Amino acid sequence: MITTEEYVRTESVASYEVGAQGVLKLSVLLRMAQETSEQHLGALGLGYEKLKADGLVFLITNNLVKIKRMPRHNDVLTIKTHPRGTAGVQFYRDFVFYIGEEEVIRIMQTSVSADPESHKILRPKVFLGYNIFADEKMEKEGRVERVTPPEGLPLLGERSIRYSDLDFNHHLNNAIYGDILLDYLPEEIRARGISEIQVSYVNESVLGETLRIFGGATGENEYLLYGENARGLGFSTRLLYGSL
- Does pLDDT of 54 surpass 80? yes
Task: Tell me the HSE value of 116 on the side-chain side, using a 13 A CA sphere.
Answer: 13
Backbone dihedral region for residue 74 (phi beyond 0: left; psi -120 to 50: alpha; all else: beta): left
Task: Tell me the HSE value of 11 on the side-chain side, using a 13 A CA sphere.
Answer: 20
Q: What is the DSSP string of 152-182?
A: TPPEEEEEE--GGGB-TTSSB-TTHHHHHHH
d(CA 146, CA 164): 27
Nearest C-alpha neighbor of 197 from the set 65, 37, 85, 32: 65
> pLDDT band for position 168 (50/70/90)?
confident
Q: Which domains does the chain have, with CATH numbers?
A: 1-145 (3.10.129.10), 146-244 (3.10.129.10)
- How high is the mean pLDDT of the chain? 94
167-182: average pLDDT: 92
- Does pLDDT of 241 surpass 50? yes
Please state the pTM of the whole predicted model: 0.94
Q: What is the pLDDT of residues 134-158, one digit of tens each?
A: 899 999 999 999 999 998 999 999 9
d(CA 134, CA 84): 9
114-126: average pLDDT: 94
Q: What is the pLDDT of residues 181-224, one digit of tens each?
A: 999 999 989 988 999 999 999 999 999 999 999 999 998 899 99
